Amino acid sequence: MTEKKPEVVRLMLLLFAVAVGGEILHQILNITIGLMDPSALYAAAKETMSAEQAAEISDGALRATVIASILVTGGIGIAVMGLLAFMLVLIHRRSKFAGLARRMLLVFGFYFGFRILMLFMATPGGNDVPVAMYLVDGAVQIIVGVAAVLGLIFSFREEVLKWTGEIDSSGNRIDPRRK
């Protein structure tokens, strides 16, 4: 007979799922914003090149490189979120790696929480992207951060630690190397 999942575990999984889903949306918005106006990245790439390098590379090749970098960066971000989604599945299934998955979510939860603070200090650069895009992206980032921080709070609860196998039923820490 399988043990029923505690509500705290269910809420933690739900909150981190919202954070992961929102972060995927944020990555898609980042790609869209970057492709709408890559002029800032294009200018930054030109600034970093020496005069000889700038003469060797054509504008088309430089633009293609900038677009490729936008797509690769977004793809890596989405792949990392896929890994975090897999961590949620490990916790949900109560895998023997659930403790590792919880700690990995813990690291990203702190990152998303810290990113909220940085968000309020950032200003969008002057470009041709509509301000509404930045508004939507900022709102998504705030939702991601709040969900991740709330997920963090739940992840430290005793019921979650028991569910992931990091402590036993009496509250003693279990060494994962001894399993």
pLDDT in tens, 92-119: 999 999 999 999 999 999 999 999 999 8
Q: What is the pLDDT of residue 49?
A: 84
For residue range 143-178, what is the model confidence (pLDDT) as tens digits?
999 999 999 999 999 999 999 998 887 777 877 666
**Could you give the CA distance from residue 17 to residue 33 in angstroms, rounded to a whole number?**
24
Contacts of 129-135 with C-beta under 8 Å, sequence gap 24+, read 129/33, 129/36, 129/37, 133/29, 133/32, 133/33, 133/36, 134/33
Res. 81: pLDDT tops 50? yes
Q: What's the residue count for the chain?
A: 179
Is 109 exposed, middle or buried, given 0-12, 13-18 or 19+ CB atoms closer than 10 A? Answer: buried
Under a CB-based contact definition with an 8 Å cutoff, are residues 140 and 24 in contact? no
Nearest to 115 by CA among 141, 137, 140: 141
Residue with tokens 């980032």: 141
pLDDT value at 2 more than 80: no
Where exactly are the structural domains of the chain? 11-33+78-178
Q: What is the mean pLDDT of the chain?
A: 90
**Residue 1 confidence class, pLDDT cut points 50, 70, 90:** very low
* Share above pLDDT 90 across residues of the chain, in percent, rounded to a whole number: 65
Would you state the pLDDT for residue 67? 94
Whole-model pTM: value is 0.88
Check residue 54 and give its pLDDT.
Answer: 79
d(CA 73, CA 18): 22
Q: Helix 59-92 and helix 98-119: axis angle, to 10°?
A: 130
* pLDDT one-digit tens code per residue, 122-139: 776 667 788 889 899 999
- What are the C-alpha distances in Å from 11 to residues 65, 119, 149? 42, 26, 12
